[in-house]
Amino acid sequence: MSKNRLLPNLEDTDAANEWTGMPEFVQEDRECYQTIIVRFASKKDVHKFAKRLKRNITPRTKYLWIGKPPVKGHATVEERKYIDES
The count of residues in the chain is 86
d(CA 8, CA 1): 8
Amino acid letter for position 31:
E
pLDDT tens for residues 46-83?
999 999 999 999 999 998 888 776 655 555 555 666 66
Percent of the chain residues past pLDDT 90, beyond the cut: 30
- What pLDDT does 32 receive? 80
- What pLDDT does 2 receive? 56
d(CA 32, CA 35): 7
Name residues whose C-beta falls within 8 Å of residue 42's C-beta, 6 or more positions apart in sequence: none
d(CA 72, CA 32): 12
- What pLDDT does 81 receive? 65
Provide the whole-model pTM: 0.48
Q: Answer whether residue 29 shows pLDDT above 90.
A: no
Highest-scoring range by mean pLDDT, 4-13, 26-35, 69-78 = 26-35
